[in-house]
Amino acid sequence: MQFKSKKKIDLYQHMVYIIFVIVLIFFAIWLGPSFFSMSNLLNITRQTAMVSVMAVAMTYVIASGQIDLSIGAVVALSSLIAAWLLERTDNILLALACSLGVGLIVGIVNGLLVTYLKIPAFLATLGTQSIIRGSAMWLTATKAITIRNTTFNNIFGMGTLAGIPIVFIWTALALLIGHIALRYMSYGKKVLSIGGNETSAFYSGINIIRIKITVFAVMGLSAAFAGIIYSARMQTARYTYGEGDEMNVIASVVLGGTSMAGGSGNIIEAVVGSLLLGIINNGLIIGGLDASQQQVVRGCIIILAVALSTFNTKKQS
Structural domain contains residue 122:
yes
Structural domain contains residue 139:
yes
Residue 19: the pLDDT is 83
CA 197 from centre of chain: 24
Structural domain contains residue 155:
yes
Residue 311: the pLDDT is 64
What's the pTM value of the predicted model, to 2 decimals? 0.90
Span 160-178, average pLDDT: 92
Residue 39: the pLDDT is 85
Residue 284: the pLDDT is 86
**Rg over CA atoms, the chain:** 20
Q: Which residues partner with 141 through β-bridges? A: none
Strand ranges in the chain using DSSP code E only, listed in sequence order = 145-146, 160-161, 164-165, 236-237
124-156: pLDDT as tens digits = 999 999 999 999 998 888 889 999 999 999 999
**Segment among 30-39, 49-58, 228-237 with least mean pLDDT:** 30-39
Span 287-310, average pLDDT: 75
Q: Is the pLDDT confidence value at 9 over 60? A: no
Supply the mean pLDDT for the chain.
Answer: 89
* CA-based nearest residue to 61, from 204, 253, 241, 205: 253
- Who's near 137: CB < 8 A, 6+ residues apart? 239
Better-scored residue on pLDDT, 120 or 38: 120
**What's 6's DSSP letter?**
P
> Which residue type occupies 48?
T
Q: Is the pLDDT confidence value at 84 over 60? A: yes
Structural domain contains residue 22:
no
229-276: pLDDT as tens digits = 999 999 999 999 999 899 899 989 988 888 888 888 899 999 999 999
Q: Are 68 and 244 in contact (CB under 8 A)?
A: no
Structural domain contains residue 26:
no
Confidence of residue 1 (pLDDT cuts 50, 70, 90): very low
Q: Which residues partner with 144 through β-bridges? A: none
Structural domain contains residue 33:
no
Q: Is the pLDDT confidence value at 52 over 50? A: yes
Q: Are 232 and 153 in contact (CB under 8 A)?
A: yes
Residue 40: the pLDDT is 86
Burial of 13 (0-12, 13-18, 19+ CB in 10 A): middle
Structural domain contains residue 66:
yes
Structural domain contains residue 230:
yes
Give dist(CA 80, CA 228) in Å, integer. Answer: 9
> What's the domain range around 246?
46-273
The total of structural domains in the chain comes to 1
**Segment among 32-46, 82-96, 98-112 with least mean pLDDT:** 32-46
